[in-house]
Structure 1
Amino acid sequence: MCGTENRTELPLAASTAGCSCCSPGAASASAFPAAAGTETDEFAVEGLTCGHCVQTVEKAVAALDGVESVSVDLVSGGRSRLVVAGAADEAAVREAVTSAGYTLTSNR
């Protein structure tokens, strides 16, 4: 296929508020798996629409003291699952998620 490009167009997440992580200055991060025997907490997060949203939340929460690992199971347009391993304070997690532009709706 010399001289031609095949590109698959992927659908964008539909949201009336838009994707708050894809604005200029958004950064990416990666989560590390939790160590065996580590305390984990689960939270429900609303407003995540894409992988960049996931990375933004993971980075914000991973920066908190006591957090060993963070992972997000994305449910675009719904309540995504945030799993935090380590000794993280719920109020600090809520503040990190809110500061990143999303809503922590509950501690599952």
Structure 2
Amino acid sequence: MCGTESRTQLPLASSASGCSCCSTQDSAVPSATPGTSAVEFAVDGLTCGHCVQTVEKAVSSLEGVESASVELVPGGRSRLLVGGRANEAAVREAVTAAGYTFAAN
């Protein structure tokens, strides 16, 4: 079967949209636990899966936060969903302390 293989080309993240170690296709999709409300925030400056993990870990450690998930938009405004009783000022501080820009919706 030499030469008859069919290979699929996978899209790579463009260098203009951040690093190429991850793709927006593989980014975490936010989900709220049934019965709890989630508050949505906008975050700028995230470019890869490591950025997502950093923000999720920082926000998850806050008192009253039950869940934190980020929908990555490399080079754009990513969406942060926080479940539980999230204090907006504390979320803002956690995001900025992690090195990213918090933007109110």
Per the normalisation by structure 1, the TM-score is 0.69
Deviating more after overlay: 33-42 vs 69-78: 33-42
Map residues 22-41 of structure 1 onto 2, 5 A cutoff.
34-41=32-39
Instruction: Indicate whether 1:46 and 2:44 are aligned.
Output: yes
Instruction: Indicate whether 1:64 and 2:58 are aligned.
Output: no
The count of residues paired between Structure 1 and Structure 2 equals 87
Gaps spanning 5+ residues in structure 2: where?
Answer: 1-11, 20-27
Misfit runs of 4+, over 2 Å: 10-15, 32-35
Counterpart Cα distance in 2 of 1:57 and 1:34: 17
Aligned match of 1:93: 91
After superposition, the CA RMSD in angstroms is 2.5
- Between Structure 1 and Structure 2, whose CA radius of gyration is higher? 2
Counterpart Cα distance in 2 of 1:13 and 1:86: 36
Gaps spanning 5+ residues in structure 1: where?
Answer: 1-9, 20-29
Percent identical among aligned pairs is 68
- CA drift at 1:95: 0.1
